[in-house]
A and B are shown apart, each in its own frame.
Chain A
């Protein structure tokens, strides 16, 4: 067992974990932050995307120990003071989700895209999302939502 400490959604946390504990297991099982999902075993689907020190990361592909000392934001930490983040609001407004399972990873990934590229083309959005699989929406409304969020965040 080893002790892992990090800041998650603004709160300092410290837990004893097995060394093989993945970051996603740490979030889901040790912190009960079940918004981050596991959809595959091979780092393909992106349902587990969170931000580690401000960058999108597949939390199934990182050990909790590797995030020791880091600042982590999960989907639960995105809305501020009960107000949806513009990306969350845009997904709702444009029906960018159906079953909701891939959605947390999609949203976290999309937020990171806009940090890198505040005015992406449809093609750039679609290419960025190669690491996020959605089986419900055909991606059509996800792309629309990200465009709308980009526009509202540019102001």
Chain B
């Protein structure tokens, strides 16, 4: 097993199909007789809809049908729900206004869904949509979360456009801690709004079978069962047993493909309305910008109190979070339980108080995007700590070290609800400092300055809560679902194995990693293990992939299922070897009897289970076990990233001179895949810090950054070669000792980069550090120096 077992850099088995053009993404699928949907979207940010005339569109060439919100209302189609109810600081549930797949009385953001045209071709549907006459009575729009509460009300159910005013921590204790402080660092931050931009645009095919009254939905989903649950239970009122969701190869998601959207809902519903023809929709990139859920968009004031020795005494954080025009599937959890609970960071800060106001604006809904709340928390903590070090004349690395939770303090109860099971932060710090030659920075800075350049270095010591999530815990906090995972391990009679997992890869390489895991666990050849995912018709109910959960939760379910296989295998082996079950041992694919040379291979046991001619009494035939795993706690990946930048003060261009990352993900199955996840995460965080910015016009609410011409996606030449290492403190509460790695890079990197840039500039700027902003700051610094 050496070349494919746990810990090996096995190349990915999914790559061959992707590299030869044989990947099968949703838009690659065409169903017999399919029609094409196009969605007419709101051209204005906020308006009453007083009339929709679809008559001209209905008679346009190729048009099959035109539907509006009235048609859905008449059919009893429900609202897209938010699955996490946050209780505000007065004990009241958050405000959850209705979110209909097609609007009924008003449009609330540019891109809102006004009507659906179905035609023989996508082009005909799009052409016909132009013939729909909509009467809009325009209303004032608000896009800035800080203006939301004093602006035109967007939903009847949400006065002041307030979704919730929520708090975590002890305010009085925080005030008392601050009263004793020798130094207080204060900071105002904007966590800029991002568009996730998975390279595969969302797509869906809805198909109703008139013969069986069953539905099949092909969708670009990270979690097909969750999509089925939401559509069936809340929106379309269908029995789940009649609905199959297939998410084939999914071209990236980063959170944006977790949610139940209007488009797949409408395609599914419309297929029955038009008599069972499949209805296909594929987003254009412009539609993705307008209507994929966005990420981040926080405005924060935060303060850190330190004593005279530099020890953290307390932290206070006040955040306004933009929810957009409607609540997406898990939107409310992101700036609350996935954010404020991480504000202790890696530190022993004894008191933390956070107040979060979530508001509605006339913008696209905001929900989880790679890291989801944890990058925002890390940005607050790590910017505060860095600036506190500068203000008090301390080395930023040593200030962190001084305040780290020490290894003997675990399990560590933070003041913000979480109980970290394990961690060891200094080895990551030391390794990162050594890798970047921290001591040599002064000389490198002097060399840069000699060339007329500014140089800066910045650290970020992040922590995240992953392996989402213990069901009872999230349930007590308002989640409407359990966040366990399932797995079926099914031996075939010939000894090959199919593993059905509820996790769903959209780039993470599960087909490889999970096969490595099962191969090692059961001692069978890697090639004999097939991973099946992404199809509710083939897998047990599962919760999907997000929150760096697939290995920690989904992998643990696979381990449990393998354990059941081994336990049953021992009964069969004991019978065949005429031994007592208690004497049978299993290792490396062989059942043996202790103290004898008797041995049976796993494949032989599997064959016997399906051809049970000589078989133990009372044992069922077959070797096919399902397990569900509900984690006992979150996992807590952590690490230190250090960025070093050089800035050209004449152009404002920031060059990332070096990047080192040392992450503790616990045990690692495939280091190659883990490193790839870190690279990609860093790139997304660098994108946020340096390039990406979602801009809505403040007056009209128009999205100004609606294409790759206007929204700066990170390109290859924006990056250096990353240097990535790991340290290991194994998770204590899951059977693999793994923590998760998918989001770490995006969580750590914005703070590291902004700490480096502001170190070089000597002044604060907000993300993204565009050349213009950097140039202005650099010029101001040079002027001050000249004076």
Contact = CB atoms under 8 A, between A and B. Distances in A.
Interface of A: 18, 20, 28, 33-42, 44-45, 47, 74-76, 78-79, 84, 88, 91-93, 95, 97-104, 107, 122-123, 125-127, 129-130, 132-143
6 contacts: A44-B707, A76-B22, A99-B250, A134-B199, A137-B679, A138-B714
From A79, A103, A135, residue with most partner B Cβ within 10 Å: A135
B21 to A, nearest CB: 2
A103 B243 CA distance: 32
A93 B16 CA distance: 11
Contacts of A45: 199, 285, 708, 713
Contacts of A137: 676, 679-680, 683
Interface in B672-698: 672-673, 675-676, 679-684
Contact of B20 (A18, A35, A126, A133): A35
A133 B719 CA distance: 13
B680 A101 contact: no
Contacts of B20: 35, 75-76, 78-79, 84, 88
B735 interface: no
A36 B21 contact: yes
B148 to A, nearest CB: 30
Given A34-B21, A42-B285, 18 more contacts: A37-B25, A42-B708, A45-B199, A76-B20, A88-B19, A92-B19, A93-B11, A95-B11, A97-B15, A99-B506, A100-B249, A101-B200, A103-B19, A130-B716, A130-B717, A138-B681, A138-B714, A141-B679
Contact of A122 (B28, B198, B721): B721
B1 interface: no
Contacts of B286: 41
Contacts of B197: 135
A125 B716 contact: yes
Given A40-B285, A41-B286, A95-B673, A133 B722 contact: no
A15 to B, nearest CB: 15
B11 A141 contact: no
A135 B16 contact: no
A21 B24 CA distance: 23
A99 B19 contact: no
B713 A136 contact: no
Interface residues of B, number: 56
Given A98-B680, A139-B719, A142-B716, A35 B23 contact: yes
Main SS class of interface, A: loop
B21 A140 contact: no
A101 B252 contact: yes
A65 to B, nearest CB: 16
B182 to A, nearest CB: 41
Given A84-B19, A129-B715, A99 B200 contact: yes
A99 to B, nearest CB: 3
B507 interface: yes
Given A99-B199, A135-B197, A74 B21 contact: yes
Nearest to B286: A41
Contacts of A79: 20
A143 B679 contact: no
Given A35-B21, A39-B200, A97-B15, A129 B717 contact: yes
Nearest to A107: B19
A76 B22 CA distance: 8
A99 B707 contact: no
Given A40-B285, A88-B20, A98 B708 contact: no
Given A99-B198, A101-B199, A143 B21 contact: no
B123 interface: yes
Contact of B713 (A20, A28, A133): A133
Contact of B683 (A104, A132, A139): A139
A42 to B, nearest CB: 5
A93 to B, nearest CB: 6
Interface in B12-38: 12, 14-25, 27-28
Contacts of B216: none
B554 interface: no
Nearest to B707: A42
B503 to A, nearest CB: 15
Contacts of A97: 15, 18-19
B657 to A, nearest CB: 14
A59 to B, nearest CB: 13
B436 to A, nearest CB: 17
A126 B123 CA distance: 36
Contact of A103 (B18, B123, B681, B683): B18
Nearest to B24: A34
Contact of B123 (A20, A125, A142): A20
Interface string B278-321: 00000011100000000000000000000000000000000000
Nearest to B22: A35
A116 to B, nearest CB: 16
A85 to B, nearest CB: 9
Contact of A101 (B22, B25, B709): B25
Interface in B359-404: none
Closest 8 pairs (CB-CB, A-B): A35-B21, A100-B18, A101-B251, A99-B507, A138-B683, A44-B708, A138-B679, A98-B507
Contacts of B12: 92, 95
Nearest to A105: B199
A38 B305 CA distance: 51
A135 B370 CA distance: 12
B152 interface: no
B250 to A, nearest CB: 7
A92 B27 CA distance: 24
A140 B721 contact: yes
Given A35-B22, A35-B23, A37-B200, A126 B16 contact: no
A52 to B, nearest CB: 16
A97 B23 CA distance: 12
A139 B200 CA distance: 17
Contacts of B199: 37, 39, 45, 47, 99, 101-102, 133-136
Contacts of B284: 41
Interface string B417-437: 000000000000000000000
Contacts of A20: 123
B224 interface: no
Contacts of B24: 34
Nearest to B253: A99
Nearest to B370: A135
B508 interface: yes
B701 interface: no
Contacts of A122: 721
A142 B676 CA distance: 10
Contacts of B254: 135
A36 B684 CA distance: 24
B201 interface: yes
A98 B11 contact: no
A143 B709 contact: no
B717 A140 contact: no
B673 to A, nearest CB: 7
B43 interface: no
A126 B717 contact: yes
B509 interface: yes
Given A98-B680, A99-B250, A133 B21 contact: no
A81 to B, nearest CB: 13
Which residue of B24, B201, B252 has the most chain A CB atoms within 10 A of its CB atom? B252
Contacts of A135: 197-199, 252, 254, 680, 684, 713
B28 A34 contact: yes
B103 to A, nearest CB: 24
Interface in B404-449: none
